[in-house]
């Protein structure tokens, strides 16, 4: 006959190990970051890179609201630099291959923003 205690312990250990990536992900607030293609001739983003990694969705929302609701087309960054508020003319001027940048990271995190049904998606040089 089998021993109930061992079977139960076995199941608990199995479940704990199996879901470890999930728990560590939740607790560190981290996500998958595949090797994305960064702009070759630029060193800095509109805001510090850690901020961009964590908050670019919020920033884009704010940009859209600023542009469309307040007609404000200039963004002043935390370092005092001025940028045109434009997904197309600012973000995608530097990040000019969405397949190798936005999409690559989004797909590995199972996020699928719906922006490209309206905004033009640059695919870089072939």
Cα(105)–Cα(38) distance, integer angstroms: 12
77 touching ligand HEC, by CB under 6 A: no
Judged by beta carbon, residue 9 or residue 107, the one nearer ligand HEC is 107
| Options 1-9, 12-20, 21-29, 31-39: segment touching ligand HEC (CB under 6 A) | 31-39
Structure tokens at 101: 């940048």
| Options 3-11, 19-27, 37-45: segment touching ligand HEC (CB under 6 A) | 37-45
Q: What are phi and psi of 89, to 5 degrees?
A: -85, -15
Least CB distance to ligand HEC at residue 7 (A) = 39
Residues 6+ apart with CB under 8 A from 72: 66, 85
Least CB distance to ligand HEC at residue 18 (A) = 23
């Amino acid at each position: 006959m089998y021993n109930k205690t061992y079977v139960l312990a076995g199941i608990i250990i199995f479940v704990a190990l199996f879901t470890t990536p999930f728990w560590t992900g939740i607790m560190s607030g981290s996500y998958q970051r595949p090797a994305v293609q960064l702009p070759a001739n630029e060193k800095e983003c509109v805001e510090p890179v850690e901020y961009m990694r964590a908050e670019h969705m919020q920033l884009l929302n704010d940009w859209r609201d600023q542009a469309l609701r307040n007609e404000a087309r200039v963004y002043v960054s935390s370092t005092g630099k001025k940028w045109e508020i434009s997904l197309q003319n600012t973000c995608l001027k530097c990040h000019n291959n969405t397949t190798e940048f936005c999409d690559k990271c989004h797909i590995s995190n199972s996020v699928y923003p719906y922006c490209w049904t309206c905004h033009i998606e640059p695919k870089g040089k072939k």
